[in-house]
Amino acid sequence: MDLDPDLAALRPLGGFFVLRTLPGTAGGAGAAQAGAPPTGPGGSAGRLPSLAEVYDGNTRGGHRDPVTVRVSTVADRLGTREPRVAASIAQQGLAARLWSAALGCAVLYGRLPDLDPRLLRWDVHAAAPDDLWLTGLRPRPGDAATLADAVLHGHLEPLAAALRARYGVAAGLLRGNAGSALAATARELGRWARAHGRSDVAARTRALTGELFAHPLLVATGTRTGTAFRRRSCCLYYRVPGGGLCGDCCLTRPPRSSPRAASG
């Protein structure tokens, strides 16, 4: 099935899967340059930064660094004073959004929109699905190699590099977040497929997810048993006021001391 301009097939899957596109940008890169995304809730008056600018640290217009703003926003929402914790949760949230949109398209359309960071604009104040805007619709193959290249190499690795440099978040933790987000995305797609009698969607989800978890960046992030996933690191959510352990955490109880013990 061809990609439609609004990626409408993603909408029944829920907010995390939705990827908003800008009007008139279906023509690809040329249209992407001409369009300006609307301002999301709490967004600045200027245009939203592309994720390429975010990862490179080259945002324009005199705005505050988007990574810092996003981490601060997440910290405020969670009520945590630990930037490292907020950075981990912020990264996991963006990873979940990227995996959801990418895997959802690959499974439902058999194609993937080009997720080049230059084509994705980010509203650092907004929640899903108003945080990401795609400014050019260029179809790509929907295979696991293209998915890995788009999400892991195109986004999560440069984002991880920025977070490690600024907040000291461990590489293993961030890769664990990526694996956890992928496993959760696959479970949601599987549930939707069963509820709607789409055995083809379920089978394609299993096949693509299995190939993705064989990738060198994900293979050591956790253990998979069917759709269940047990990660080998902790996202640090237990350090959020009122937080606890996630269902796939490597820990069985929150540590009483050594805040960095679970960060690897």
* DSSP string for residues in 163-193: HHHHH---HHHHHHHHHHHHHHHHHHHHHHH
Residues in contact with 33: Cβ distance below 8 Å, sequence separation at least 6, in sequence order: none
Q: What's the pLDDT score for residue 254?
A: 85
**Residue 227 near residue 187 (C-beta atoms within 8 A):** yes
Q: State the residue range of the domain holding 50.
A: 8-32+46-239
- Is residue 244 in some structural domain? no
Q: Higher model confidence: residue 261 or residue 141?
A: 141
- Per-residue model confidence as pLDDT tens digits over 5-35: 999 999 999 999 999 998 654 444 333 333 4
Q: What's the pLDDT score for residue 23?
A: 63
- Is residue 92 in some structural domain? yes
- From residue 61, give the alpha-carbon distance in Å to each of 37, 39, 40: 15, 15, 17
The span from the CA of 245 to the CA of 53, in Å, is 34
- Is residue 257 in some structural domain? no
Structural domains in the chain (count): 1
Token duo for residue 85: 């914790």
Q: What angle do CA 43, 45, 50 make, to 5 degrees?
A: 65
Closest CA to 177 of 116, 228, 214, 218: 218
Q: How far is CA 184 from the centre of its chain?
A: 11
Q: What's the pLDDT score for residue 39?
A: 52
- The answer on pLDDT for 170 being more than 50 is yes
Q: What mean pLDDT do residues 66-95 have?
A: 95
Q: What percent of the chain has pLDDT over 90?
A: 76
Q: What mean pLDDT do residues 124-152 have?
A: 94
Q: What's the pLDDT score for residue 60?
A: 60
- Per-residue model confidence as pLDDT tens digits over 219-232: 999 999 998 999 99
The span from the CA of 160 to the CA of 9, in Å, is 30
- Is residue 1 in some structural domain? no
- Is residue 188 in some structural domain? yes
- Is residue 75 in some structural domain? yes
- The answer on pLDDT for 189 being more than 80 is yes
Instruction: Kindly report the pTM of this predicted structure.
Output: 0.88
Q: What's the pLDDT score for residue 125?
A: 92
- Is residue 39 in some structural domain? no
Q: What's the pLDDT score for residue 46?
A: 39
- Per-residue model confidence as pLDDT tens digits over 28-63: 433 333 344 555 444 443 378 899 989 987 666 555
- Name 223's bridge partners: 230
